[in-house]
Amino acid sequence: MQLSFGYGTRDEVVTVPDGQLLGVLTANEMTHERTGREAVRYALAHPIGAPRLGALVRAGQRIAIIASDISRPVPSHEILPEILRELFAAGCRAEDVTVVFALGSHRKHTEEERRRLVGDEVFSTVRCVDSDPDDCVRLGVTSAGTPVDITRTVAEADVRICTGNIEFHYFAGYSGGAKAIMPGVSTPAAIGINHRRMVEETACAGRLEGNPIREDIEEAGAITGVDYIVNVVLDEHKHIVYAVAGDVIAAHRDGCAYLDKMYRKPIPARADVVLVSQGGAPKDANLYQVQKALDNAKHAVKRGGTIVLIGACPEGLGSKTFEEWLLAAPTAESMIERIHREFRLGGHKAAAIAMVLQNAAIDLVSELPDTLVRRIFLTPRRSAQEALDLALTKYGAGATVLAMPFGGATLPLAEE
């Protein structure tokens, strides 16, 4: 069978022998009842686990709405106007509302970026500020020892509303919910303590219960106090296809269940070889972006199998810290040991690659120099077909193959 995988601005075409292909994983076909702002309006009118937002607020309260920063695909310009509509209908004043961009460990925004994120209407109506890790209030400490140090504007608010999108997250299980609090408006030190547990087996995509990072996030949210969330689910084009509003746990879980219907893919068994791509440009501009597809593919490959990672990476590795960690590591295992000692954004993705290498080989089809690929513990291949042919020779006549042409958006779940 002939398959195509996006690779930069062209395709990598691979022929898989008949009878050896277990499946091609793409998003499940779904019909969405509402999209865009209509979906957000409906969610606010039908909250989950809580009354309508207007019943929880009153005039004179200081209200903080936490919004995602520019590194996230969240269409805040569609979400925030609907929230403000509810607040103003309940008598709240514009001067009492502050939109706080959750920077986490990321850089500050320019004024133009803040305006673009929320739209002209919101930007000209309410105050819009970045979270400030240098001006935080300690509200407590989680049972895992994570300090709940929250940016002052959020910590001192009377009402806290968290927004964001829900997608699979490779160690927090899912994004969304209380993740707007931790790491969103927390300090780098607190984020490091929380995130260093990413090396634990149960800190993985699609898992909520028993996930140490997600549980710590939600404990930090409970200590802070989250009054309401408005979260959205996006399709592959980053358009809103579902929204939830209400209780920080109940509404979030509903959104996670909807995401599962779209992107969680049952597979009959793990395969000897997994062919995976991010889908081509612009999603495979660098290895930092392509890592997301790799992390989903690890759930589809047998222990001792091979992942053929297909991504052009014309911009190289994609992150200075990511590159430093990869090039400085004497062994792949050393990056896992390092992330447990000192969490650093960028370094965490290097450690994530090392964690995949504990169970499978990674063949990389890219534009990166062969010497660089080998130096970062991967095996360079000239084409996806070459990589597949060599892997099939390695595993023999009965070898099985799974294909993930949009690996960042599909999460395999083996029936065993």
Report residue 374: phi and psi, to 5°: -65, -35
| Shared domain check, 313 and 381 | yes
Identify whether residues 9 and 78 lie together within a single domain: no
Number of H helices, E strands in the chain: 14, 20
Length of the chain: 416
Backbone angles phi, psi at 365, to 5 degrees: -105, 110
Task: Kindly state whether residues 12 and 86 are assigned to the same domain.
Answer: no
pLDDT of residue 245: 98
CATH number of the structural domain spanning residue 72: 3.40.50.11440
b/e burial code for range 70-97 (CB count within 10 A of at least 16 → b): bebebbbbbbbbbbbbbbeebebeeebb
Are residues 94 and 6 part of one domain?
Answer: no
| Distance separating alpha carbons of residues 358 and 248, to the nearest angstrom | 35
181 and 300, same domain (yes or no): no
Tally of structural domains, the chain: 2
Of 234, 253, 284, which closes a domain? Answer: 234
CA nearest to 132, candidates 109, 116, 111, 115: 109
Q: Is residue 47 in a domain?
A: yes
pLDDT at 397: 87
Q: Which of 152, 261, 144, 150 lies closest to 203, judged by CA?
A: 144
Is there a domain that residue 257 lies in? Answer: no
Let me know whether 18 and 152 are in one domain: no
- pLDDT (0 to 100) of residue 343: 85
Q: 342-374 pLDDT, tens per residue?
A: 888 889 999 999 999 999 999 999 999 999 999
Sign of CA dihedral 90, 94, 95, 97: positive
Q: How far, in Å, are 42, 164, 170, 184 from residue 227 at the CA level?
A: 19, 15, 26, 16
56 domain residue, yes or no: yes
Other CB atoms within a 10 A radius of the CB of residue 305 amount to 23
The CATH code of the domain that includes 350 is 3.90.226.30
Task: State residue 6's pLDDT score.
Answer: 95
Classify residue 246: in a domain, yes or no.
Answer: no
401 and 268 together in one domain: yes
192 with 301, same domain: the answer is: no
Same domain, yes or no: 147 and 296:
no
354: containing domain: 2-27+264-414
Q: Do residues 41 and 170 both lie within one domain?
A: yes
Residue 416: what pLDDT?
57
Question: pLDDT tens digits, the chain, 416 residues: what are they?
Answer: 999 999 999 999 999 998 999 999 998 989 999 999 999 999 999 999 999 999 999 999 999 999 998 877 799 999 999 999 999 999 999 999 999 999 887 788 889 999 999 999 999 999 999 999 999 999 999 999 999 999 999 999 999 999 999 999 989 999 999 999 999 999 999 998 999 899 898 999 999 999 999 999 999 999 999 999 999 999 878 899 999 999 999 999 999 999 999 999 999 899 999 999 999 988 899 999 899 999 999 999 999 999 999 999 999 998 899 999 999 999 999 999 999 888 888 899 999 999 999 999 999 999 999 999 999 999 999 999 999 999 999 999 899 999 999 998 899 998 75
> Do 365 and 270 fall within a single domain?
yes
Closest CA to 72 of 178, 180, 171, 154: 180
